[in-house]
Amino acid sequence: MEYRILGKSDLRVSVMGYGAWGIGGAPFWETEGEASSANSIEKALSLGINFFDTAPVYGFGYSEKLLGKTLRKKRKDVIIATKCGLRWNREELKSLRKQADRESILQEIDLSLGRLETDYVDLYQVHWPDEKTPIKETIDTLLEIQKTGKIRYIGVSNYSVEMMEECLKYGQIVSLQPMYNMLERDIEQEILPYCLEHDIGIICYSSLASGVLTGKYDENTRFTDWRSKDIIGHFTDDVYVSHVKKVRDITKISKKLGKTTAQLAINWLIHRQGVTTALVGVKNPEQVEQNIRAVGWKIPDEDLNTITNILEGRRM
């Protein structure tokens, strides 16, 4: 495993992080059961992954609980990232709301610490911008919590450049967690250069485009889970169809290199300038074992050029 320092922190995170959204299960994903999920966490740890990302909303607390229970005895060896700012009244998707005001975050941190069975979170991230709350209030609250020792570092997720600029007026954020993968490259325009310039670590999410970059789906796939609801990413429209065509071409290169499509996609991502770590979701230990082989090699330049052409639509 390779490790990198996250932004202006002393967190040394594995280049591939464990994304614990999928193992949270309903209302977003189906899991393969608690034993399989817990085994995937243990397998990741045994193979050198030390960075685990979760959120209260993943399974309405279940992901945090499972992570806490499974990692309890290894707490000092792992870096746990969770989030705040997405609340719910009832355990259903339509009840979710963005809320990052002082009162809410002060409640949320204690709920997360309880579920994670720990007295500190290494990286506490604002999950989504809450346009109703001034950024100053959110950052001031996080700084207040940091002083108590309940959180070590502050990060944000899904923030624009303007929002990060505002954050930096009031305090230090060490990381941004954006969607970034071979198929979703919007951040390359402004966000990634801004993070590079300000030494803000980038924690990529949906590194496999929520499964599309494994190559196991095609134009005829009809998703029945959250991916059918146009929440984030592309799974139902013409963009999705163009994505699966690109993935088919990418798979030809991965086969030539003796890799899986997922391994190629993760490897490509962790070598993009500015990327600190790529979060990958898994459902079982076998997926961890496969994906970990994305680390420790480099795509030859010639294939990298072909990949660029495929992704930019110059070769289909």
Positions in the binding site for ligand NAP (CB under 6 A): 19-22, 53, 127, 157-158, 177, 205-211, 214, 216, 262, 279-283, 287, 290-291
The answer to whether residues 123 and 155 touch, using CB atoms and an 8 Å cutoff, is: yes
Residue among 112 and 214 whose Cβ is closer to ligand NAP: 214
| Residue of 29, 90, 101, 55 lying closest to 283 (CA atoms) | 29
Residue among 186 and 315 whose Cβ is closer to ligand NAP: 186
Sign of CA dihedral 97, 103, 109, 110: negative
CB of 143 vs ligand NAP, minimal distance in Å: 21
- Burial (0-12, 13-18, 19+ Cβ within 10 Å), 148: exposed
The answer to whether residues 165 and 174 touch, using CB atoms and an 8 Å cutoff, is: no
Name the phi and psi angles at 156, rounded to 5: -130, 165
- Tell me the CA distances in angstroms from 179 to 121, 266, 298, 311, one per residue in order: 22, 13, 22, 16
CB of 302 vs ligand NAP, minimal distance in Å: 25
Residue among 4 and 148 whose Cβ is closer to ligand NAP: 4
CB of 16 vs ligand NAP, minimal distance in Å: 10
- The residue whose Cβ lies closest to ligand NAP is 19
Residue among 99 and 207 whose Cβ is closer to ligand NAP: 207
| Structure tokens that stand for 237 in this block | 């429209």
CA gap 120, 269 in Å, rounded: 30
Q: So which residues are the catalytic ones?
A: 58
CB of 48 vs ligand NAP, minimal distance in Å: 17
